[in-house]
Amino acid sequence: MKVSIVIPAKNEAENLDRLLPRLLTQVQGAECIVVNDGSTDNTAGVCLQHGIKVINHPYSKGNGAAIKTGARAARGQFIVFMDGDGQHRPEDIPRLLQALEDGLDMVVGARDKKSQASLLRGLANRFYNGLSSRIAGHKILDLTSGFRAVRADKFRDFLYLLPNGFSYPTTCTMAFFRAGYSVGYLPITADERTGRSHISPLSDGLRFLVIIFKVGTLYSPLKIFLPTALGFFLTGCGYYLYTFLMDGRFTNMSAVLFMTAILVFLIGLVSEQITALMYRESGRLPGADASRVEHRVEDSSPLSSSQETYTTDSPMPTSRAADRSAYKTSDG
């Protein structure tokens, strides 16, 4: 198994100088790539001092663009993405890789409550997680976590969908669910970052919200269009009832609301068919509901002897399931 570690970094020289030695002791033999996204400090120099491969962007293109650059350059079967600000612990990487070996296609490090940078950001993340879970029909524990491990070939299928900004985790999570791939979560504790964050809570928060709805229309358009159409229809019914009781007539406004409801619903149907065609090449029926399985996996890595719990949207392969003694199946 060949593993690639991809770290997008912008002006993270100080943090990388502390992170890279820890990383190299945890993933000996793995390919490590730092994508220097137009840094103005000594980010590239620090990486070279530690013998890390560096890919330099001539100017800052964004976190998502750095992720795509690293994914294209990575040669490993598995790719681990982590931030360069020192919040993600290299000691958690073996747990993520073990989950991939046990049959998952993507495993995400889900941050606990103590790992939220602020109360406002914690509340925002809870809102994003709840909204995206409702759209996807799967429990999403951490939508925006940048610490994740993926199967390289499957991740590259969605590179064209990923934005260049900070919301690549949102897009790839929803895309993996839509394609019917197995996604799981492992609890992690993120350390406090050193230095200033490059994420703006207001502007990037609004952008995250817009992208959730954009990806929602890509994932299952009817989950967006149907409630909207229903809202227009119920408003039309209410307005018609009011005008009928007050004036005894059917008004033009009621007709417009009913027609709008029908048009929105039909647009949703067409969008649903277009989305299904987009995922047809994967050879899967998108949106198919598989049983959700909770796996309790005993980490066989010599670096850890703890038991891990993660949730996936499809069962493990039979050959792997035979080697695991504790499976607990739950309904969707």
Cα angle vertex 311, ends 308, 313, to 5°?
150
Structure letter (DSSP) for residue 248 = S
Collapsed DSSP state (helix, strand, coil) of residue 9: strand
How far apart are alpha carbons 23 and 51 in whole angstroms?
12
143, 170 Cβ separation under 8 angstroms: yes
pLDDT of residue 131: 78
Domain ranges in the chain?
3-201, 222-282
Q: Exposed/middle/buried for 160, CB within 10 Å: 0-12, 13-18, 19+?
A: exposed
Backbone angles phi, psi at 80, to 5 degrees: -110, 125
pLDDT of residue 318: 40
Give, for 131, the enclosing helix (H) or strand (E).
helix 119-136
Give the residue among 147, 193, 206 at the shortest CA–CA distance from 172: 147
Give, for 253, the enclosing helix (H) or strand (E).
helix 252-278
131, 212 Cβ separation under 8 angstroms: yes
Pick the CATH number of 3-201 from 3.10.50.40, 3.40.50.300, 3.90.550.10, 3.50.50.60: 3.90.550.10
198, 302 Cβ separation under 8 angstroms: no
Helix, strand counts (H, E) of the chain: 11, 10
Give the residue among 103, 80, 62, 312 at the shortest CA–CA distance from 207: 62
Give the residue among 188, 187, 99, 180 at the shortest CA–CA distance from 138: 180
Residue with tokens 């003694």: 325
Beta bridge partners of 271: none
pLDDT in tens, the chain (332 residues): 589 999 999 999 999 999 999 999 888 889 999 999 999 999 999 999 999 999 999 999 999 999 999 999 999 999 999 998 888 999 999 999 999 999 999 999 998 776 555 566 667 778 777 877 887 778 888 888 889 999 999 999 889 888 887 778 888 888 898 888 999 999 998 877 565 555 555 555 576 667 667 767 767 788 889 999 999 999 999 999 989 888 888 889 999 999 999 999 999 889 888 877 766 655 444 334 333 333 333 333 333 334 444 555 444 444 444 443 333 333 33
pTM: 0.70
| Number of C-beta neighbours around residue 213 at 10 A | 12
CA end-to-end span of the chain: 32
* Number of Cα atoms under 13 Å in the Cβ half of residue 293: 18
Cα angle vertex 64, ends 286, 61, to 5°?
145
Give, for 185, the enclosing helix (H) or strand (E).
strand 183-188
How far apart are alpha carbons 84 and 194 in whole angstroms?
10
Beta bridge partners of 184: 107
DSSP string of 30-86? -EEEEEEES-SSSHHHHHHHTT-EEEEESS---HHHHHHHHHHH--SSEEEE--SSS
